[in-house]
Amino acid sequence: MFTLKRTHTCGALRASDAGQTVNLNGWVEAVRDQGSVAFLVLRDRYGQTQVVFRKDFDEALLKRAQSLRAEFVVAVRGVVKARAAEAMRKEQPTGEIEVEAKQLEILNEAAVPPFEVSEHVQVSDETRLKYRYLDLRRKPMQRNMITRHKVLAAFRESMDRQGFLDLDTPVLIKNTPGGARNFLVPSRLWEGQFFALAESPQIFKQLFQVAGMDRYFQVCKCFRDEDLRADRQPEFTQFDLEMSFVDESDVQAAVEDAVANVFKKVLGVELKRPFPKMTYAEAMDKYGSDKPDIRFGLHLVDVSELARTSSFRVFSEAVAGGGIVKGLCVPGGGGMSRKEIDDLTTLVKGVGAKGLVWLKGEGGTLGGSSAKNFKPEELAAIREKMGAKDGDILFFVADEKGRCKVALGGLRTHLGAKLKLIKEGTWEPFWVVEFPMFEEGPEGKPQAKHHVFTSPKPEDLDLLEKEPLKVRARAYDLVLNGVELGGGSIRIHRKDVQRRVLAVIGLDESNIREKFGFMLDAFDYGAPPHGGIALGVDRFVMLLLGLDTIRDVIPYPKTQKGQCLMQNAPSGVIQRQLDELHIRLKQPPQETKM
């Protein structure tokens, strides 16, 4: 029986509705039983409304209300009443009214839930994921999902306004080398052959440009069979776009419009545009990260020149060996305990540095256990260079160039959080540009830093074969609050350049033919200059909500080991399915009941 279909949601009624007869549907949040009067709090996605049952009004109805339990699904018919002044709850949206019940339908009973469906209760991730549908019923998760929707809506609105076409691309695609490990899907029709789940729509969106679609976008699932992190899931969502006849500034302007629209619609925040830019080299030099959090200072300072001639051999030998010495100055950090410093040393070593040298500003010079290794005039020069004052603490790492920056960058990020240097509630998106095309892979072989379709800067083309590691790419990353929101590039649109780049990463002609032949063929038929970008939706929503894991903004996420605890996936299959797929397991199949 379901006759009392709702006339209002549980968040709708106000004092101005007093006197109306209404129907409400929802879940039982609580029954506060006072004996001769009982209050039922009814909940749905839109809010909560209090329903009153009284003995002197309808004793039988009160009895039934008292039998309700948490999470029962009910329908109520009643009259909206303004509450007495002393019963008003101004802090609740529906706090000025209540509904006096006339009829009650129990639409469904509910078992006692494994945890309270409440925003106050703390539950382990494990339990939450197993009963995700109950977790999602909790207010914070409903808020997260609603925000997620708003982000997507604002993004799509901007894309539509700018003339982008929402086109979809296949999920089942060809397995291609490089980049993330693919999930493989065996083919029933083609024995021994496999599809891959798309790790991104990259090639297809570029071919849309060859096809003359001009402006394409998609909110798109991507799949990567790599290990998980708090901000990484095997299945995640990207805002993806690609456009023709453009350079970097056009793509950036298009994305900025979308990102700014999201901030405006979701947070009511107006972002300053255009977003500032920082070169990769500057990001690494000043922050020791390619996605620095610029909401606080603590810049890295290079003291290699002072270190070169230093009497402290850790410094001078590092420079002599081709390394560098950099430091950062923590204003007022002089009170840090030995234990705290030791913990920081452990942290820095964990990122690969050999150690951490520290000095404290005191008595107009620098002190601390390492100070004895320096001459007084060296200490003065370091103090000067670092801009240190009495009461500050200085940290130094002497190491190979890359390791030094990354280690100190890690220390900087850690200190920013630990010392609460971050201005919360501020949003400073910016572009990191001029990435190197390649980085050194295993065995010193160059590999693409972004991806193999990224265009080199024209002025660096000559270096492609001679000094590939010096070639800069027409790539850009969008960084916000220390999180890489996404990245993109202007693509190669000429076959000859594409061939050269593929050759640099070590693909020979037959390999190129086999893996990317169709792409190069397409470029034979008139590929326009084009470029694009992809943003991580889950990370974006996480940032906007101030959360620290994307699991809380993904409706049905996987665990750290990549399982779905609700479905118990992955799971075994029956022999017949394997036979159809022409697959023989090394171990006999673990059959699951189906």
Partner RNA sequence: GGGGGCGUAGCUCAAUUGGCUAGAGCAUCGGAUUGUCGAUCCGAAGGUUGCGGGUUCGACCCCCGUCGCCCUCGCCA
Binding site for RNA (CB under 7 A): 30, 32-37, 39, 41, 50, 52, 54-56, 69-70, 83-84, 86-89, 92, 95, 98, 112, 114-116, 118, 120-127, 129, 178-181, 199-200, 202, 224, 226-230, 232, 350-351, 439, 447-452, 549, 551, 559-561, 563, 565
- Name which of 383 and 450 has its Cβ closer to RNA: 450
Distance CA(397)–CA(328), nearest Å, equals 9
CB atoms within 10 A of CB 45: 13
Distance CA(33)–CA(137), nearest Å, equals 24
The dihedral over CA atoms of 353, 356, 357, 363, expressed in degrees to the nearest 10, equals 150
Closest distance between RNA and the C-beta of residue 411, in Å? 13
8 A C-beta contact, residue 500 and residue 462 = no
- Name which of 127 and 316 has its Cβ closer to RNA: 127
- Name which of 315 and 431 has its Cβ closer to RNA: 431
8 A C-beta contact, residue 430 and residue 276 = yes
The dihedral over CA atoms of 492, 498, 504, 505, expressed in degrees to the nearest 10, equals 80
Which of 281, 276, 326 lies closest to 304 in space, CA to CA?
326
Closest distance between RNA and the C-beta of residue 248, in Å? 17
**CB-based contacts of 268, cutoff 8 Å, min separation 6:** none
- Name which of 69 and 313 has its Cβ closer to RNA: 69
- Name which of 228 and 381 has its Cβ closer to RNA: 228
Closest distance between RNA and the C-beta of residue 424, in Å? 19
Closest distance between RNA and the C-beta of residue 240, in Å? 11
- Kindly give the pairing relationship between strand 393-399 and strand 324-330: antiparallel
- Name which of 30 and 145 has its Cβ closer to RNA: 30
Closest distance between RNA and the C-beta of residue 475, in Å? 9
8 A C-beta contact, residue 366 and residue 375 = no
8 A C-beta contact, residue 489 and residue 525 = no
Closest distance between RNA and the C-beta of residue 348, in Å? 12
Strand partners, 197: 172
Closest distance between RNA and the C-beta of residue 233, in Å? 10
Closest distance between RNA and the C-beta of residue 275, in Å? 22
- Name which of 206 and 370 has its Cβ closer to RNA: 206
Type of residue found at 221: K
Tokens 């074969």 sit at which residue? 465
- Name which of 231 and 392 has its Cβ closer to RNA: 231
Distance CA(298)–CA(280), nearest Å, equals 18
